[in-house]
Structure 1
Amino acid sequence: MTKHPPPSAGPLAGIRILDLTSVLMGPFATVQLGDMGADVIKVEAPAGDSTRHLGPMRNPGMGALFLHCNRNKRSIVLDLKHPEGRAAVLRLAATADVLVYNVRPQAMQRLQLGYGDVAAVKPDIVYAGLHGFGQQGPYAARPAYDDLIQGATGIPALSVLAGGDVPRYAPGALADRIVGIAAVNAILAALFHRQRTGEGQAVEIPMFETMAQLTLGDHLCGQTFEPPLGPTGYPRILNPDRRPYRTLDGYICTMFYTDRQWQSFFALIGQPALFADDPRFATIGRRTENIRLLYAMVSEAMATRTTAQWLHVLAEADIPHMPMHTVDTLLDDPHLQAVDFLTPQEHPSEGAIRAMRVPARWSKTQPAQRHFAPQLGQHSEELLREAGYGPAELAALRASGALDPNP
């Protein structure tokens, strides 16, 4: 059992992130920056990030989702509606390289923490906003959640086109996590620009536009052209038979794409001449035109053997395949075990937990966990002292109600 996370400076060592985000999208972005070595200061309201109270937990305020999205961060509790709390955030911002928030920009303006306010104390700050919609359009002031953005960008409707009975959201916080990754990319690029020029800037990462790019990148298709060369929708992806295939005793995932793979498939089902003799299957373009027929053939064939039999013959034929995991069986996947993806740890307050390591491998500056997810306000005084607060100022801040009352 690992009692302490392994130390690692990481490629972002020396970068300080002032993290005003909560729930999932923002914290998922900043945890990645923290994993890469940045010093992430998590500013929480007195009630704490709402994810502290979600899911199973051993102690109040330390829910499972919070633990996974808030490691490598230090927590300070400030009430930003107090003038003294706002002043404290600005003093912290003066020491930071990046400020990240995920409330609507209008809320930051009301708090007098807009880009102009923050740039006044830190001109080269990278001021990154993750919010629902670009601020130049009619949706600018609307609230946004993962489900709303999935629906607005066509994901539930695509599930029906692909053979579902009713529209369904993807069973995961798809938009929150994808936009979180997009935010990391944008923040790192802005930091690179600052390194070259000395210039800070405001960066907007909108959920709607980011996810619209994801949907339309696959499905704009014939509507790419003016005049259109065909309808929207990528036929292979929308094929109702594009799914895990039922076998005699379970399911299997396999993918036929190249000429060689389809040739091998036809041989496996005892019809090798189809590839050479049937023009519908001879090229990738013709196969795409006839993909519904092909996937129906695959579906019918898969039902004739057991999962183990298919795993064996597909491996021998060098055809891409994987077992269909459940979330529970994924925990026991032999590859994840071999690469130590899930590691047992001893959290100082939560006891034995299972953590996920950083997926990427680096030869020089390996990102890693350095700190466990913090308790609410665990580092309040430490961080304020680093920002220059003396004992009298700390006492006054507490007395004002802007700082958490527990020393």
Structure 2
Amino acid sequence: MDTRPGPLDGVRVLDLTTFLSGPFCTQILADLGAEVIKLEAPDGDSSRQIPPHFVGADSAYFLSHNRSKRSVVVDLKTGAGQQVARDLAGSVDVVVENFRPGVAARLGLDPERMRARHPALVWVSISGFGQTGPWRDRPAYDIVVQALSGVMSLTGVPGADAMRLGVPAGDLVGGMYAVMAALAALVERSRTGEGRWADVAMLDGQLSMLSYQAVYATVAGITPPPQGSRHDSIPTYRSFRAGDGRELVVAANTQRMWAALCAVLGVDDLTRDARFASARARLAHEDELAPLLEEAFLRRPAAEWVDRLVEHSVPAAPIKTVPEALDDARTAGRDMTVLLDDGAGHRVETVGTPLRWMDAAPPAGTYPPALGADTRAVLEEIGYSAEAVDTLQAAGAVDGAAPAPDPAAPAAPAASGTPAPSGAGAD
């Protein structure tokens, strides 16, 4: 396959975000071919310093969501810096920010004024609770919106404490909805010439993830319990422990799959048992069915069960660790792991983009930018003279020098990571 420019080639994005929800959004836009200019404070995106894993001066957390971007350092606490930011915003197609509502305006970047001056500008605001409503001024991070949305109440096992999802879904879903908003606004702008201001709330995104559980609650008047590794509606859609101690999952959610599952497990008599004759009957008698299936799965190792079930067209898989899943991705031929190299001795392996085009190879991506590495180049591209940039640097309004590597920051294997807190941005 040939390498072609991405669908967003020619689209310029100003990234005013920190931590995770916004950087995840803008990384997707970069993977789609947009030029993403990441505006950072003099001390950088706070996530550059999240412990415990570092590659050079930057944390693995930061490196995981900032590839293929350019970094410009601007001090928004100075009037000159605010003017630079306004000039940058006026030179792009899309601005993405995840300040708390009202903070961008206090920093000289009022979305309404910017859009009045630049009607074609698409502005995407990501926040914990949206630009309107009684909670708009509250700070929010991933775990907060997971808790408020009901998602945490569904995670874990009955009788145990609620659990945060193992991935920061509050941030990631908010970032994905922000991408959708930006793309929809760009499509509309291609017809009308007018941009939009999108209001993306992380809590709203988490509520949308409730899916059928929300409708179960409203239709049946129930409080859905923690799900563990099972399904509220399908007792053969769950995990089992096999004879070698490993767990596998099975998704036998049709009558044909139920019969095939019983055949593979050697319990064909269950298909003739009236208690399990239909999906409704199996659910009504789940407490009786579960131990029978659990006992059968203990007779063989997990890998053997998976092979046999897949052979009979019953969806099944072993539960893998993160390193195991990455090992599979490296050999699957889908380029879902990407090795990035900054040319200065730093390398990091990240998860690649899941977006694929049948007529072009996925983009390789570039190493996340050093702090301020592109300040001078970007400002000169939008019309600043070299002398003007020198003056701004001398005044401390902008900075183009990346910091020296932190000798106290330990180097770490590129594939390592950390479940650090993530958020929607701060003042």
> What is the TM-score normalised by the length of structure 1?
0.89
The Cα shift of 1:380 comes to 0.1
Aligned length: 395
Distance in 1 between the 2:379 and 2:368 partners? 19
SS of structure 2 residue aligned to 1:244? strand
SS of structure 1 residue aligned to 2:22? helix
Check conservation: 2:72, 2:400, Cα contact below 8 A: no
Counterpart in 1 of 2:388?
A: 393
Q: 1:291 to 1:14 in 2, by over 3 A?
A: farther
Task: Find 2:218's aligned residue among 224, 228, 231.
Answer: 224
Distance in 2 between the 1:222 and 1:353 partners? 43
Q: 1:292 to 1:17 in 2, by over 3 A?
A: farther
Q: Is 2:229 the partner of 1:260? A: no
For structure 2, the residue ranges without an aligned partner over 5 or more in a row are: 403-427
Check conservation: 1:71, 1:371, Cα contact below 8 A: yes
The Cα shift of 1:270 comes to 3.5
Equivalent residue runs for 1:102-251 within 5 Å: 102-160=98-156, 162-163=157-158, 165-215=160-210, 217-225=211-219, 229-233=220-224, 237-238=231-232, 243-249=238-244, 250-251=246-247
Distance in 1 between the 2:90 and 2:304 partners? 63
Check conservation: 1:93, 1:121, Cα contact below 8 A: no
Counterpart in 1 of 2:347?
A: 352
The Cα shift of 1:352 comes to 3.3
For structure 1, the residue ranges without an aligned partner over 5 or more in a row are: 1-5
Q: Is 2:301 the partner of 1:306? A: yes
The one-letter code of the counterpart of 2:186 is: L
Indicate the RMSD between aligned Cα atoms, in angstroms.
2.5
Equivalent residue runs for 1:70-85 within 5 Å: 70-85=66-81
Q: 1:370 to 1:304 in 2, by over 3 A?
A: closer
Counterpart in 2 of 1:95?
A: 91
The one-letter code of the counterpart of 2:120 is: D
Distance in 1 between the 2:299 and 2:102 partners? 59
Distance in 2 between the 1:64 and 1:367 partners? 23
Structure 1 segments, 4+ long, off by >6 Å, are 239-242
Equivalent residue runs for 1:289-328 within 5 Å: 289-328=284-323
Alignment deviations for residues 234-257 of structure 1 (CA, whole Å, 9 cap, x no partner): 886358996532111122222111
Aligned residues: percent identity?
35
Counterpart in 2 of 1:3?
A: none
The Cα shift of 1:144 comes to 0.2
> What is the TM-score normalised by the length of structure 2?
0.85
SS of structure 2 residue aligned to 1:237? coil
Distance in 1 between the 2:346 and 2:316 partners? 38
Check conservation: 1:58, 1:350, Cα contact below 8 A: no
The one-letter code of the counterpart of 1:206 is: A
Counterpart in 2 of 1:64?
A: 60
Q: Which deviates further from its counterpart, 9-18 or 147-156?
A: 147-156
Distance in 1 between the 2:190 and 2:53 partners? 42
Distance in 2 between the 1:145 and 1:97 partners? 28
Q: 1:222 to 1:312 in 2, by over 3 A?
A: closer
Distance in 2 between the 1:330 and 1:281 partners? 35
Alignment deviations for residues 181-204 of structure 1 (CA, whole Å, 9 cap, x no partner): 111111111111111111111100
SS of structure 1 residue aligned to 2:71? strand
Check conservation: 2:9, 2:32, Cα contact below 8 A: yes
Q: Which deviates further from its counterpart, 92-101 or 354-363?
A: 354-363
The one-letter code of the counterpart of 1:221 is: V
Distance in 1 between the 2:287 and 2:21 partners? 36
Q: 1:159 to 1:355 in 2, by over 3 A?
A: closer
Q: 1:334 to 1:27 in 2, by over 3 A?
A: closer
Distance in 1 between the 2:39 and 2:117 partners? 18
The Cα shift of 1:98 comes to 0.4
Q: 1:335 to 1:76 in 2, by over 3 A?
A: closer
Distance in 1 between the 2:48 and 2:247 partners? 37
